[in-house]
A = this chain, B = another copy of it.
């Protein structure tokens, strides 16, 4: 396998994994491309490499920025915007863990709490609903705790950033 083949295989595999876990393919592929790029890429670069449209590229780059894993890079003297992704896999994991907790798990926890706390009546059905959704709430809470543990692994982020800026 040569460089080009390996690159394509990586990008396509990462895209498929994304789909499997509810992340759109283009988004995952853009991230993958930036992740192995040695320099920031422009929208043109990305469009050309992945053969996707301008609109698609623009929208998915925005989403990646919303997730906090891609940032704009201003290159002095250049009109175009350039993009880079977080290159540190641990930081990447932190951002993703944090966002999935916030967007997806938190709202579900809220519903599970509501449902498991409805008033008891005499019926067996209601008791089962309450009991089982309570158990699911606790499990989901555990999963959420785990994600947040990952997300907070780096409590010295401020310090680290400070050092980066200072040197």
Contacts and interface: CB of A to CB of B under 8 A. Distances in A.
A136 interface: yes
B118 A38 contact: no
Given A1-B118, A13-B111, A139-B90, A6 B36 contact: no
Contact of A128 (B2, B38, B115, B133): B38
Given A36-B128, A87-B132, A90-B139, 19 more contacts: A1-B114, A3-B126, A6-B118, A6-B129, A10-B111, A10-B115, A13-B108, A20-B104, A21-B21, A35-B136, A36-B132, A36-B133, A37-B128, A38-B128, A89-B135, A89-B136, A89-B138, A92-B139, A93-B139
A107 B117 CA distance: 41
Contact of A3 (B1, B14, B114, B129): B129
Given A125-B38, A132-B36, A20 B22 contact: yes
A19 interface: yes
17 contacts: A1-B114, A1-B118, A3-B118, A3-B123, A3-B125, A3-B129, A6-B115, A6-B118, A6-B129, A7-B129, A10-B111, A13-B108, A22-B22, A38-B128, A87-B132, A89-B138, A90-B139
A139 B89 contact: yes
A121 interface: yes
Interface of A: 1-3, 6-7, 9-10, 13-14, 17, 19-22, 35-38, 87, 89-90, 92-93, 104, 108, 111-112, 114-115, 118, 121, 123-126, 128-129, 132-133, 135-136, 138-139, 146
A164 to B, nearest CB: 19
